[in-house]
Amino acid sequence: MPPGAPRATVVLTGNELLDGRTRDSNGAFVCEDLSRRGVKVMESLTVADDRERFSACLRHALENEPDLLVLGGGLGTTHDDLTAECLAEVLGVPLEEDPRALAWVEEKMREVAARRRLDFDALFVLARRQARLPAGSTPVPPAGVAPGIAARAGTTRIFAYPGVPYEFRHMWLETAASLERDGFFPDVAVRTVRIFGVGELQVGPVLDALPQDRVELGITVGGGEVTVRLRNRREAAAEAQADDLVAALEAAVPVYSTDGRTVDDLVADGLRSRGATLAVAESCTGGLLGARLTARPGSSDYFVGGVISYSNQAKMDLLGVPADMLTRHGAVSEEVAAAMAEGARAALRADFALSITGVAGPDGGTPEKPVGLVYLGCAGPDGTRVRRNGHPADRDTVRTFSATSALHLLLAGLAP
């Protein structure tokens, strides 16, 4: 992060986050959002629902005098919900019932009671607890039932939200919009460069050969891609340095996107702008590519469907792959990948079709066809292309990488 960026700390509370029951999503969300806004997150602390440890964590967080302290969880109605209490203790103030918070809680509980046909008074006795805030703090309007808390400790702005992901996200984004209006976030430019076809070892030296003291660089490797994120203040010298770094990457390695769009975005945009349709034929991925394509709202504009041809019988019956081709070359072969793509294109009446057939492992590999060997096919109006992948890895990695590779094969065919 460029020098002078605001610094933030995140504190999450909840036993379920520490015993394997629930995987954190709030911390990941707010860290990414803060980072995108030019804030440097120094620490993200997850602590059990334990009065002493929670308070110790808050003290530790405040010692560092971050500009922002974001808290998630612990604002519910049970005795395990300790955020207001621990925050009050650390700030050295008592808890007080806040009239605005109380009015919000009452309104929300009347809605809940009416919807679920429950007794309002019984619910309100419990929920009323959520209107008790550290003295001097301000309630944040709830997205669910529990109000949040806005407070100050020295120069640190503190915001606490409930742990329910929908509520946390909604309330944080409201706060962020208000901080944005106050000019809290620095004027930072973020660029994301996406690279497919080489590894980190080929990317690093390209960057290291150029000055980069005005740009914060982050390199990530995952799903068979290398992603370089550049962040800099919006000022001429820093912008020029970032421009040079991006240009050097484009000259040296296979950059496919410099505007943040993923291969999924580019495939969707490319199909839509051509008015073209897509089908899939999946063997070892079993539907993963189709699931990924349809994760996007509106994908029915271009995605028509596909065939999961996990068995050889299905490859023959539904995709018209010839039996003797399967016998001669095996299901994991260039020939079958091409026939699957062509079969799906015909069966689904699509403009393009992608196929995937391979050995995902952990079993089923042979010396000739080891785990990780995957053939990808792309059939389109201009013919059929096949690509071979051969990286040994675990089942999940092989499958994910296969889906990504298939999208890149299509993207190359969609290029104007």
104 Cβ neighbours under 8 A, 6+ residues apart: 131, 139, 141, 142, 147
Cβ at position 135, least distance to a second copy in Å:
27
* Tokens encoding 380: 């389109």
**CA proximity to 307, closest of 264, 343, 359, 257:** 343
Return the number of the residue (186 or 286) whose C-beta is nearest a second copy. 286
Torsion angle, alpha carbons of 281, 382, 265, 233, to 10 = 140
Distance CA(307)–CA(283), nearest Å, equals 9
Site for a second copy in 311-340 (CB under 8 A): 311, 313-314, 317-318
For a second copy, the closer CB: 95 or 124: 124
Minimum distance, C-beta of residue 124 to a second copy, in the bound complex (Å): 17
Closest C-alpha to 352, from 304, 415, 291, 318? 304
Q: What is the smallest separation between the CB atom of 85 and a second copy, expressed in angstroms?
A: 18
For a second copy, the binding residues in 397-416 under the rule CB under 8 A are 399
Using CB under 8 A as the binding criterion, the count of chain residues that bind a second copy stands at 78
258-297 binders of a second copy (CB under 8 A): 280, 282, 284-291, 293-295, 297
Which residues, including other chains, have CB under 8 Å from residue 150's CB and lie 6 or more apart?
Answer: 137, 138, 139, 140, 157, 158, 159, 175
Q: How far is the CB of 109 from a second copy (least distance, A)?
A: 15
What are the residues facing 189 on neighbouring strands?
232
Nearer to a second copy, 32 or 97 (CB): 32
Length of the chain: 416
Q: Are 153 and 186 in contact (CB under 8 A)?
A: no
Query: Contact with a second copy (CB under 8 A): which of 305, 320, 330, 365?
Result: 305
Q: If binding is defined by CB under 8 A, does position 303 make contact with a second copy?
A: yes
- Alpha-carbon distances of 153 from 18, 88, 96, 156, 239, rounded to whole Å: 27, 11, 18, 5, 35
Min dist. Cβ of residue 246 to a second copy (A): 17
Look up residue 185 and give its two tokens.
């976030």
| Contacts of a second copy in 203-232 (CB under 8 A) | 218, 220, 222, 227, 229
Backbone angles phi, psi at 303, to 5 degrees: -95, 125
Strand-pair category, 148-153 with 138-140: antiparallel
Q: In the bound complex, what is the minimum distance in angstroms from residue 257's beta carbon to a second copy?
A: 16
Q: What is the distance between the alpha carbons of residues 374 and 63, in angstroms, rounded to a whole number?
A: 53
**Shortest separation between residue 234's beta carbon and a second copy, angstroms:** 19
Binding window for a second copy (CB under 8 A); candidates: 91-99, 137-145, 332-340, 391-399: 391-399
Encoded amino acid at 152, one letter: R
Segment 9 to 28, residues that bind a second copy, using CB under 8 A: 15-24, 27-28
Q: Which is nearer to a second copy, 284 or 414 (CB)?
A: 284
Q: What is the dihedral of CA 260, 264, 269, 271, to 10 degrees?
A: 160
- Choose which of 31, 95, 179, 276 interacts with a second copy (CB under 8 A): 31
The contact mask relative to a second copy for 344-373 (x = CB under 8 A, - = no) is: ---xxx-----------xxx----------
Q: Which of 306, 343, 377, 413 binds a second copy (CB under 8 A)?
A: 306
141 DSSP 8-state letter = P
According to CB under 8 A, which residues from 149 to 208 bind a second copy? none
Site for a second copy, residues 43 to 62, rule: CB under 8 A: 43-48, 50, 53, 56-57, 60
Site track 61-80 with a second copy (rule: CB under 8 A), x = hit: --xx----------------
> CB of 75: closest distance to a second copy in angstroms?
17
Which of 56/150 has CB closer to a second copy? Answer: 56
